[in-house]
A and B are shown apart, each in its own frame.
Chain A
Amino acid sequence: MVFLEFEKPLEVLYEQLEKLKEIGGDGEIDVTETIRNLENKIKNKRKEIYSNLTGWQKVQLSRHPERPYTLFYISQMCKKFIELHGDRCVRDDKAIVGGLASLDGQTVMIIGHQKGINTKMRQYRNFGMANPEGYRKALRLMKMAERFGIPVITLIDTPGAYPGLEAEERGQAEAIARNLFEMAQLRVPIICVIVGEGASGGAIGIGLGDRVYMLENTWYSVISPESCSSILWRSWDYKEQAAEALQLTADQMLGHGLIDGIIKEPVGGAHSYPEEMAKILKRHIKKALSEIMDMDPDVRIDVRIEKYAQMGAYNLAKEEPVKEKKKTEK
């Protein structure tokens, strides 16, 4: 088990529990009562810690090394998954995976960022940072889904689109922009879920949909707290403040009306109960799909575009501005 810094009180309790079990194993002293007490204590402590998480702590949770990733969720939620590779232009991007699957009989196109589960795999997956090929593979799969009337589900978990030399050469910005343009008018339902990190363009590149949800312990913003700290505070040391200022948690995002809902995680986080988490996620996706499956595609597209059109906060100037501007003298 990996304990994060704010989980230290839990680690202490778990150590005590281990010791107790060792003692109990000898069979000389009856410790069942004490163990039950301690387990209750752990449960309460966990509840206490998890109900008061700061923005930064949720960022840490979203990056927990034991957190489930896309392929795990697919294996738990779907049957008959066939992974489809490649953008048909350059290569197969390992940071974004996707394919056809059956969600309780409903064929879906499920696409998501994929991080690695160990050091070697993390490199193989480029830490979940996709290149343009990843976004173009995602688009290829979405366009195919559209052709066959198959709904699209995207699972988002990325520290950002990869800022590399080749990524720029092959048009990282164009790839993301093109996906936004095409997803806005895709004729099949799109459901997006932030299951880990939702970092800026890298996230929204597969994140435009009819329904956008965030798991409880995730974050979604225009920049990571670390980079925000480095740019605005000119130091890497203000990530906690940056996390607060950015208002990047699921609660805050829903409060601002920038996402459609929050999917609760089991107490202790998705990483503590991954199978349970997958069940909850599946339930939410099925419910969301049932709400939008039967809509007329044209209406669904209009509603989708108007939803995003509403996102923005601005004032109206009090004084009447100058309407006509004279060409300045040369």
Chain B
Amino acid sequence: MGWVKRLKDGIQTATRNKKEAPEGIWYKCERCRETSTTKELRENFYKCPKCNYHVRIGSHEYFDLLFDGNYDLLFEELRSTDVLQFTDLKPYPDRLKEAYKKNIVTDAITVAKGKVNRRSLLVAAMDFRFIGGSMGSVVGERIARAIEYGIANRIPLLIISRSGGARMMEAAYSLMQLPKTCGRLTQMARAKVPFFSLMTDPTTGGVTASFAMLGDINMAEPEALIGFAGPRVIKETIKRDLPEGFQTSEFLLEHGFVDTIVDRKDLRETLSDLLFLFEESKLAAIGKGEGSAEMEPAEEEFPGEEEG
């Protein structure tokens, strides 16, 4: 006999009332298994306070971390549809309903416009909790519209990727989001509006093979899984174990595909710096050559030299 008598048998909480981490009071780290409070976690930029593991957070957490204050959501009216009447073990509409029921996001990417250190930025952030962050028509369309919006209003764009790849339930429609988003990105490049890509854990498949790799600046969160094929598929193909650290952010940086790895606590500042450095007035000044604003103070710094 135990010391405590259970009054009711079994778990009483219905599945739908279960809280998704990190919304409870405690957070148990997926990597180091240490426990901290969710308040500590949030104050530590959703990184494990013990081991710096970057927790897989959603679109809105990123908006909260990045923007100065309020932000506007864009293109929320776009919703996924079951264009192929796709049924595997479960009909696609059921999968969509389940994803909506979580009541977190309206698709695997959410677009928001706000300010980072007083400079405008569009952020399109993926959310893994919506069908594995998979890219279907809505993801492609929201990105395409975000690019159009960025071009029209001359606002830089940050896409935060966190995706297993294509949404198989939309088959070739999903595949066509690759040329669609890349085509739009060429227009953004021509318009000289900067595009920043941040790859987070995980970024694989069609997302990596399109916009995620095409940033003017490619950034990655530490230790994220980034690749084209998934590790399991590669292992089955080459029939041997994969080396340690294979397909991590650090691996990609060493092989030349990522510009910089950014700890989540520095993300806001890094973006703020990038927006400062890419600011159009500054770029225009460079174009003017000698008469640029940046050259003048340099001359004034040594006023006495000519006389001496």
Contact = CB atoms under 8 A, between A and B. Distances in A.
Interface residues of B, number: 73
B24 interface: no
A241 B168 CA distance: 14
A253 B64 CA distance: 41
Contacts of A304: 183
Contact of B175 (A200, A245, A324): A200
B213 A177 contact: yes
Interface in B62-94: 63-64, 67, 69-73, 76-81, 83-84, 86-89
Contacts of B80: 314-315
B180 A177 contact: no
Contacts of B190: 185
B152 to A, nearest CB: 15
Contacts of A163: 228-229, 233-234, 237
Interface stretch (A39-47, A106-114, A228-236, A267-275): A228-236
Contacts of B246: 165, 168
Contacts of B172: 220-222, 246-248, 253, 256, 258
Interface in A156-187: 161-165, 167-174, 176-178, 180-181, 183-185
A247 B257 CA distance: 35
A249 B4 CA distance: 64
A246 B209 contact: no
A321 interface: yes
Interface stretch (B6-14, B133-141, B262-270, B290-298): B133-141
Interface stretch (A63-71, A279-287, A305-313): A305-313
A221 B71 contact: no
A330 interface: yes
B125 to A, nearest CB: 12
A322 interface: yes
Contacts of B79: 314-317
Contacts of A172: 209, 227-229
Given A165-B234, A245-B88, A221 B228 contact: no
B186 A222 contact: no
Contact of B176 (A177, A181, A312): A312
Contacts of A155: none
Interface in B122-174: 137-138, 140-141, 144, 166, 168, 170-174
Interface string A288-330: 0000000000000000110011011111110001111111101
B60 interface: yes
A208 interface: yes
B180 A308 contact: yes
Contacts of A185: 186, 190
B57 interface: no
B91 to A, nearest CB: 10
Nearest to A207: B179
12 contacts: A168-B229, A178-B213, A178-B214, A180-B179, A201-B228, A220-B172, A222-B175, A304-B183, A308-B176, A314-B78, A314-B79, A314-B137
Given A201-B209, A324-B73, 9 more contacts: A177-B182, A180-B178, A242-B88, A312-B141, A313-B173, A315-B80, A317-B77, A322-B76, A328-B64
Interface of A: 161-165, 167-174, 176-178, 180-181, 183-185, 200-201, 204-205, 207-208, 220-223, 228, 231-234, 238, 241-242, 245-248, 253, 256, 258, 304-305, 308-309, 311-317, 321-328, 330
Q: Which 9 pairs across A and B sit closest by C-beta, in order of nearness?
A: A163-B229, A312-B137, A313-B83, A173-B208, A232-B88, A180-B182, A305-B183, A173-B228, A321-B76
Interface of B: 42-43, 60, 63-64, 67, 69-73, 76-81, 83-84, 86-89, 106, 112, 137-138, 140-141, 144, 166, 168, 170-180, 182-187, 190, 205-206, 208-214, 227-229, 233-234, 237-238, 242-243, 246-247, 255-257
